[in-house]
Copies of this chain bind each other. A is one copy, B any other.
Amino acid sequence: MKLIKAIIRPERLEFVKKALEDEGSYGMTILEVNGRGDQKGIKLQYRGGVMVVDFIPKVMIEVVVKDRDEERIIRVIADSARTGKMGDGRIFVIPVERSIRVRTGEEDT
């Protein structure tokens, strides 16, 4: 299994949720985070000066998927989260060794 950790724009969350649902993928966890990427923050001009807003609110989505779904889910998230502008975010894939359901104590495979 893999943990797909996507950091996206908050305003794209609805689209990503919808897209994942359409793929039949329901389980996921959402975290409110702040992030800074390659753009090094947003530069605002004012009165001749420059102010850099370095951390922008983002949403982090964590989805654990079976290995065979990895590629598909990544595409779904990337496509639905995309606006094409700086700050669209990243997706990281991390290996997951085990997954246990608390309710039953059973292990998913």
Q: Using a CB–CB distance below 8 Å, which chain A residues touch chain B?
A: 1-3, 6-8, 17, 26-31, 33-38, 40, 54-55, 58, 60, 64, 74-75, 77-79, 81-103, 105
How far is it, in angstroms, between the C-alpha of A77 and the C-alpha of B28 when the chains are bound? 20
Chain B residues contacting A78 (CB-CB under 8 Å) are 100, 102, 105
Q: Which of B1, B8, B36, B95 interacts with A27 by CB under 8 Å?
A: B36
Contact B35 A64, beta carbon cutoff 8 Å:
no
Chain B residues contacting A101 (CB-CB under 8 Å) are 88, 90
Contact B28 A31, beta carbon cutoff 8 Å:
no
A-B contact pairs, 19 of them (CB 8 A): A8-B102, A29-B35, A29-B58, A30-B33, A30-B34, A30-B35, A31-B33, A77-B102, A78-B102, A82-B105, A87-B103, A88-B102, A88-B103, A90-B99, A91-B98, A91-B99, A93-B99, A93-B100, A94-B97
